[in-house]
Structure 1
Amino acid sequence: MLLCINKADVSEGVRSMTLWIEISWRISWRRSVSSGYFCDDSAIENGVLKSGEGDLDCVSPCSGGVDLTFYCTDFSVSEDWSSGVNTVTFSSGTPLFEMRFTGGDWIGSLIIGSNGRWSLPMSVNLTRRQDTGRLNSSPISSITPVVRLQYGCNHTLVIPVTDPDSDTVRCRWAVGSRECGDVCGGFLNAVLDEATCTITYQAKYQVGWYAVALMIEDFASPLSTSPLSQIPLQFLVDVYNNAMPCSSAPYFIDPTPKDGACIAVPENETYFQTIVADSGMEGSGISDIVTVSPFGFSKSEVGQVQSDNRLFYVNLTWTPTKQQEGENILCFTAENTEG
């Protein structure tokens, strides 16, 4: 399993030209709304399948779809969300394939798209590639469901992306009701660098909630303008007021892996990692270290490093399976007691 929002891995059937498309997704919901969305440590440890909501529908060249059920991987009590993953396999006899998740409604406090509908399409061209001689696999991306940005500060948000084929990957704003429902252009005044998948934002406008809708595309070469596949990434930004200086935000220190680090983990061997965060200011602690992780990760409670009252940590463990061979994305963020 590769971790992503919507992902297509494809292979040809041995006895026919049937194409088998593996679709993986990460979906996040407001945790308190329903038991079908409620994740906790027990649900993660026991691999509980949650009901979620809505269907992932095959638009072309087929009809029908599958329930967007998910296995819990992460949750946040303070931000009230659950997140999880799942994978299904479809067959197709034609080279162009599209699936879409539609429905509603977004949270009622959005600056743009309040209570609106959502739409997240995924498409892939299954024609055998001339450059590699193989079928294409789409990019992979993941991010925390809620990104919190302090008002009055300048922010840079790097979207984690990778590609199994080492293709050129670019990000763009989603456009039109097919790609973003009612939240198109939802992150007002943000600037996106498409080549680096980096969003910059001067938080000097309106405090509140924004929906971010992106399309992530892979290309055979840096000069190519025709994407091989497209996957959606949508999440929430909370621009909030706080009297603390911009420089007082938490930050990670050793032995925490550097941003963008790639770590090899052998199949069926246990990976152990300590994540350490500095609260960013004297007299402040770390209230939470939130993760968005592959299936099977285990996270300890937040603990304090005894030698320093600003340092806090969590321990992560993971034993990857054969099905998780390939690239998996782990995201983490820290919140201090000043919010």
Structure 2
Amino acid sequence: MFPAVVLFIKCTDGSYFRGGTISWLPQTNNPSVINSTRAVIINQRYAWLESTVSSVCSPTTILSYGLIGDNTTNKLNCLSSSTTCTTANFPTNLTTLVPCTDYNSLLNMSTGESSLIFNLTVKTDGLVIGYGSHSTDLSWMPLNMINDSALVNISMYLNLSARSDNGLINSSPTTSNPFVIFVQVNVNTSINIPMADIDGDIIQCRFAESSKNYNGITVDECGEVCYSEALPNATVLFSEDSICTLNVTLPSSGYYAVALQLEDFLENATEPLSSVPLQFVLYAYEESNITTNSSTNCTIAPNITSIDPDNPSPGSTVYAAVNVPYTATINAQSGCGIQPNTSIINFLTISPPGMIKTDVPFLESDGSTYGINLLWVPTSDQLGMNYTFCAIAIDINLYTSEQYCFDFMVGPKTTTSGPYITQPITTITTTSTTTTTTGQPVNYLPLEVGLGIGIGLPLLCLLGFIARNYIWRYLFGFLRSIFDSRVGNYRTADDLSLQKMTPPPSRSLDEKDPKKTPDYREQYINEKNSSSSPSNQKQSNLIRRKSASPSTTSAFELGSLSSTTISMFSSTTNALPTDRVEHIASSTTNPLLLGGSILVRAYNKQNDSV
């Protein structure tokens, strides 16, 4: 069972009601939880007879946000049980009086709109809210087909339960339908009812009922202007695929009331998520009201050509800044261009609170365009709010243009001039729309600085790491190779100690170096040995064989032999190395007789160590 809120309005005391609509949406997109508190926004828009004292409107009234409506009964009441109303925390000070936003002297009509924000506790048994006094005083303006005073009830079904598709609170359908529509007598006329739903739900429309049950609560949705009482029997309402069309033929001139309900559904669902009212009047006029000169009579409807200077397209959103004046001109032309009896005599508008307009259209310099001026300075109280502006042009023959609507979003004051406009681009294959931003200059400096810091600093650190761990390592090795080639392979004492600890692998004396690297010492020794006697060669071979014997373990001692070493830095006298040079000569044998020279023996020792 869904929680429900039902609003119905009973207008009294001769206020001469001319139509109204109510819609609702959650203030935030928080999930719906039973017994939790959620803020709800109730949007109310009503039209009244402007000549009544309580509904007089003027530019001064609009600029001062003066309230219009029924002075006798103007509170929303909880109609559920007192226990349910208390546990739901329903406020007792919600008013149906609205600030005047538009007035039309030719139609004797004033309209107003308000948005109320209040908290409700989500309950499983639902909640019914109503506005009415059960009075028999006249509420509606004089209507055809109604012989006596007609009472007004407007009902709304508010569902706070979680949607099955996303767990959030639902938002109701909305409409920008005008409160008066012109219809020629005895002409079958199709009227398209604009509907929208921010959740993208399927929207259906139906006639309001005098006895509608919402979860066990019976509500009167239409008072005394229900379909069977207020419209001809041949009237038909079509509703399919989120399109609502009223097909009507009115038998005589005057006003007729229409009471509808707009409901949103999930796909393949039979129970609505919500139901909101739309009530308005049809004004039927005789053909004699139209100019009868056939040579100048125009039967083509006028059209709104532009909204200067920004020209927002229908359905687009205009960014309006707090305390910054928004000015525009609504331009319209007759469907027949420059011809006699084709002037634009009136505009019907739906405006944000505080916007003033030209009362009577003026002829522009081109001689065929008529316009009205708009002026609006959003206040800080309107910050974050969204409003819809709509206009309809009416020519002297009472033909009306298509309704031209765009939205306002109120934001803080910015440093850029001109409104910020998002234009919708509608594709053919889908019902969704995308927007592209135009009109406001974009400052890329913060983006460039952010990218420079966010990307440049880590990149600099990476390059430093590479330079430290790779480039410097190879550069150091390159410099060291240059140093070794100039100075020689310098070994520290630690290097020599390590060499002592790691003995070379054993090799045969006759085994050649696999790399076969030329050695200047070998070349030198071969040349000397080639002139030696056979006995010396035999003795040298003997020395090599004995040196390879495992019994030879003593080190080759050079004793006091010394030499002078010349380097690039200085000339010093150093002892020749005495480590790891083996020999087989006894202490009584002259080392010069064993294998020739010291250089020969060192070369043999080198082969042994390899």
For normalisation by structure 2, the TM-score amounts to 0.49
Q: 2:119 is matched with which residue: 91, 96, 100?
A: 91
1:242 aligned residue (284, 287, 290): 287
| Per-residue Cα deviation, 1:61-98 (whole angstroms, up to 9, x for no partner) | 42756331110100111111111112323333225333
Q: Find the residue that maps to 1:162 and give its secondary structure.
A: coil
The amino acid that maps onto 1:89 is: I
Q: What residue in structure 2 maps to residue 31 of structure 1? A: 50
Shift of 1:40: 1.0
> Are the equivalent residues in 2 in contact too, given 1:113–1:182 (CA < 8 A)?
no
Runs of 4 or more consecutive aligned structure 1 residues displaced over 6 Å after TM superposition:
none
Change (3 A) 1:326 1:129: farther
Moved more, 182-191 or 87-96: 87-96
Partner of 1:19: 38
State how 1:146-185 maps to structure 2 within 5 Å. Answer: 146-177=180-211, 178-185=220-227
Contact 2:66 2:99 in 1 (8 A): yes
Alignment match, 2:68: 50
- Name the aligned partner's letter for residue 217 of structure 1: E
Of 297, 315, 318, the residue aligned with 1:261 is 315
CA 1:158/1:204 → structure 2, altered by over 3 Å: closer, same or farther? closer
- Structure with the larger RCO, 1 or 2 (CA within 8 Å, 6+ apart): 1
Correspondent of 1:190 among 205, 223, 235:
235
> What's 1:209 paired with?
255
Q: What is the CA-CA distance between 1:316 and the residue it aligns to? A: 2.8
Amino acid at match of 2:203: V
In the TM superposition, residue 327 of structure 1 has moved relative to its aligned partner by 5.2
SS in 2 for 1:192: strand
Of the three residues 282, 295, 298, the one matched with 2:356 is 298
* Further displaced range: 310-319 or 24-33: 310-319
- Structure 1: unaligned runs, 5 residues or longer: none
My pick for the range that moved more, 299-308 or 174-183, is 299-308
- Are 2:374 and 1:316 aligned? yes
Residue in 2 that maps onto 1:279 = 334
The answer to whether the 8 Å contact 1:250/1:278 transfers is: no
SS in structure 2 of the partner of residue 141 of structure 1: coil
Aligned equivalents of 2:281, 2:175: Cα separation in 1: 15
* 2:366 alignment counterpart: 307
Q: Is the 8 Å Cα contact of residues 299 and 315 (structure 1) preserved in structure 2?
A: yes
| Separation in 1, partners of 2:40, 2:127 | 9
> Residue 234 of structure 1 aligns to which amino acid in structure 2?
Q
Give aligned pairs, total: 332
Taking the aligned partners of 2:333 and 2:148, their CA distance within structure 1 comes to: 36
Corresponding residue for residue 252 of structure 1? 303
1:233 corresponds to: 278
Structure 1 residues 262 and 170, CA, compared in 2 at 3 Å: closer, same or farther?
A: farther
Matches of 1:83 and 1:137, distance apart in 2: 24
In the alignment, what sits opposite 1:40? 58
Measure the CA separation in 2 of the matches of 1:249 and 1:45: 36
Report the 3-state secondary structure (helix = DSSP H, G, I; strand = E; otherwise coil) of the residue aligned with 1:73: strand
TM-score (normalised: structure 1): 0.85
How far 1:250 moved relative to its partner? 4.0
Do 1:111 and 1:208's aligned partners in 2 also have CA atoms closer than 8 Å?
Answer: no
Paired residues of 2:179 and 2:281 also in contact (CA < 8 A):
yes
CA–CA separation in structure 2 for the residues paired with 1:248 and 1:319? 38
Larger Rg: 2
Distance, in Å, in 1 between the alignment partners of 2:93 and 2:356 is 31
What whole-Å deviation, never above 9, does each CA across 1:296-322 have from its counterpart, x for those lacking one?
3332342212213x4211233445567
1:272–1:225 Cα change, 3 Å? farther
Query: Structure 1's 248 and 184: CA in aligned 2 closer, same or farther, altered over 3 A?
Result: same
